[in-house]
Amino acid sequence: MPLSIGIDIGGTNLRAARISGPGEILDRIAEKSAPDPELVLSRIADMVRRLDSAEVAAIGIGVPGRVDARRRTVLSGGYVNLASVSLAERLEDIAGKSVVVDNDCNMALVAEMALGAGRGHGNIVMFTIGTGIGGAVTQNRQIMRGRATAGQLGHITVDVNGEICACGRRGCVETTSSGTALGRHIARAGLGPDVSVDQLFARDAAGDIQARGILEAWARPLRAAIDTTVAVLDPDLVLIGGGLGRAAHKALACAPALAPWYQCKVEAAQLGDDAGVIGAGLQALAGEASMTPALFSPLTQPGRARRAVLVNGVPASGKSTVSRGIADRMGWPLLALDTVKNPFLEVLGGGDREFNRTLGRASYQAIWSVVGEAPAGTTVIVDAWFGFQPRQFIEDYLRKAGVEQTAEIWCHAPGEVLADRYRARLDQRPAGHPGAAYIPELIELASRAEPLRRGPLFDVDTTRPIDFDAITQWLRTVIGASN
């Protein structure tokens, strides 16, 4: 399985890690950051050299500030401004590996959606609290970019007469609620620079009014920024991450939401300082055409390559309903594993579970053989549980079938719901499918199953009404509407 190197550029630290396909950190190193962009590039290049190996396929970099991810260009930064450095191109020349560049908070949110507090949520707002404040927004599990740089939540104005921000405006929440701002609040209260946020919480718990005042001054503007994003975006979840994320989340208890209209669940991110490098590594491996077109061959352009919509999920997760709905609306051919396999079970009179598995593998191979015979430019929908074979199998089949672009629809529901669905269909399935004895195994599988995360991903909770308009609009955006 290919690996990647994820890099997180912060105002205080530079972090890098070798990342596996599922997002596991295999090795890590860190260096101090610097305001000099050439020095930062030199340190990044050195970290890449120390982490590189033959298995590393790509490099992902999370950069603070405004980033045009599609063009891999840094437009502006704050505490570390890399706009003057052709970061992606120069690192590609140094490392000889493909490079993906995006905003650092976008990278962190990708990791939280994959492995952390954002799992199971489609519409998320994330603030990262560190030297500055970063922001990222997802809609239907896709990063919102606007023209290029949407999600700059650290520059929501909370005081029009406030301090001048690095962006040139006054009173951005970054000037009041970042780690740098916390240091200013502490200094203005007459306390020394050695006073930590944990000490402030301890003093507050002991009844220290001064400590409470500092925490409120730090948290109230952040609460106002959160309320603003909730009013504008109406997300499922607000995450607070970054090096000071857990502390900022705790401090929000000093500034509860007041307006009932603009309340939303606010949680601390789970991955801490690891989120940036994990997300950068995952984005590098994902190879999303919408993010990094320069890394893809001309074959990936619509109308030339075969494309596949992978409708993925464990048995009884609702894949068939979703697949048929997409096919009806988009006019793309649908190939489902059971559609290929069931006629053979009916003709052959069933078999034991091992025979069913063998027939499933053969049917899976048949599907990709059919795709490989389709005309160039064809988009197909493939309905299967893609986790029943090693990841390399799907990669080999896609390569042999000439599929250069994929989009994944991840269907899921709680294990108990899947059990009820499976039980209700037992008498409708041909002999050879596992019976009721499989249900406990299905429940356990549902608890650990994960999407492929190969390219763009759309999450569908099939316990809720399925929004086919949103799915088809997303597909038109990420994979095109032509046949």
Edge-first strand listing for the sheet containing 124-129: 142-143, 133-139, 124-129, 237-241, 266-268
CA distance 218 to 294: 42
Determine, yes or no, domain membership for 113.
Answer: no
Q: Which residues have CB under 8 Å from 190's CB, separation 6+?
A: none
Secondary structure of 261-295 in HEC code, one letter for each residue: HHCCCEEECCCCCHHHHHHHHHHHHHCCCCCCHHH
pLDDT on residue 155: 96
The tally of CA atoms less than 13 A away on the side-chain side of residue 179 is 19
Residues 63 and 23 both lie in one domain? yes
Reading the block at residue 242, the tokens are 């970054």
Distance, in Å, from the CA atom of 18 to the CA atom of 55, rounded to the nearest integer, reads: 10
Residues with Cβ within 8 Å of 93's Cβ and at least 6 positions away in sequence, in order, are none
DSSP result, 175-242: HHHSHHHHHHHHHHTT--TT--HHHHHHHHHTT-HHHHHHHHHHHHHHHHHHHHHHHHH--SEEEEES
**Other residues' Cβ atoms within 10 Å of the Cβ of residue 469:** 9
Whether 444 is covered by a domain: the verdict is yes
pLDDT at 52: 94
Asked if residues 273 and 82 have their Cβ atoms less than 8 Å apart, the reply is no
Q: CA separation (Å) from 426 to 22, 84, 308, 387, 422?
A: 33, 63, 30, 22, 6
* Structural domain containing residue 206: 118-270
Q: Tell me the three state secondary structure of residue 444.
A: helix
Q: Is 158 among the domain residues?
A: yes
Residues 236 and 329 in one domain: no
Same domain, 35 and 141: no
Taking Cα atoms as reference points, which of 461, 113, 200 lies closest to residue 470? Answer: 461
What is the signed CA dihedral for 427, 433, 439, 442, rounded to 10 degrees? -140
The per-residue pLDDT for 17 is 97
Both 261 and 193 in a single domain?
yes
In a domain, 483, yes or no: no
Residue at a domain's end among 284, 311, 341: 284
**124 and 255 inside one domain:** yes
Same domain, 153 and 261: yes
Is 232 in the same domain as 195?
yes
What are the structure tokens assigned to 232, written together?
Answer: 């504008």
Considering 258, 284, 310, which residue would you say is the last residue of a domain?
Answer: 284
Which residue, of 262, 284, 306, is where some domain finishes? 284
Helix count and strand count (H, E) for the chain: 16, 17
Task: Convert 60-94 into a string of H (helix), E (strand) and C (coil).
Answer: EEEECCEEECCCCEEEECCCCCCCCCCHHHHHHHH
The one-letter amino acid code at 253 reads A
Q: What is the reported pTM?
A: 0.62
Looking at the domain assignment, is residue 226 inside a domain? Answer: yes
Distance CA 201, CA 151 (A): 30
With CA atoms as reference, report the closest residue to 367 among 396, 391, 392, 334.
334
Whether 134 and 215 map to the same domain: the answer is yes
Are 263 and 302 part of one and the same domain? no
Which amino acid is located at 378 in the chain? T
Query: What's residue 237's pLDDT?
Result: 95
Q: Are residues 322 and 210 in the same domain?
A: no
Pick from 64, 25, 310: nearest CA to 180: 64
107: CB partners within 8 A, 6+ apart: 6, 8, 60, 62, 275, 276, 279, 280, 283
**CA–CA separation, 72 vs 87, rounded Å?**
8
Inter-CA distances, 191 with 194, 208, 387, Å: 8, 13, 56
Q: For residue 33, what is the domain's CATH number?
A: 3.30.420.40
Which has the closest alpha carbon to 315: 207, 189, 408, 449? 449
Buried b / exposed e over 428-455, threshold 16 CB at 10 Å, is: eebebbbeeebbeebbebbeebebbbbb
| Inside any domain, residue 292 | no
Residue 300, pLDDT score: 33
58 and 133 belong to one structural domain: no
- Rounded distance, CA 230 to CA 439, Å? 40
The CATH code of the domain that includes 418 is: 3.40.50.300
Number of domains in the chain: 3
Assess whether 208 and 144 both reside in one domain: yes
What pLDDT is recorded for position 301? 36
Least Cα distance to 138 among 272, 279, 241, 235 occurs for 235
> Does residue 289 form part of some domain?
no
Residue 431's pLDDT is 67
How confident is the chain (483 residues) per 10-residue block, as mean pLDDT? 89 92 92 91 95 93 91 82 88 90 94 89 93 92 89 95 92 96 96 94 96 97 96 95 95 88 92 93 69 32 69 94 94 90 77 72 89 90 88 85 90 95 82 79 91 88 93 80 39
Nearest to 323 by CA among 337, 338, 334, 308: 334
DSSP 8-state assignment for residue 390: -
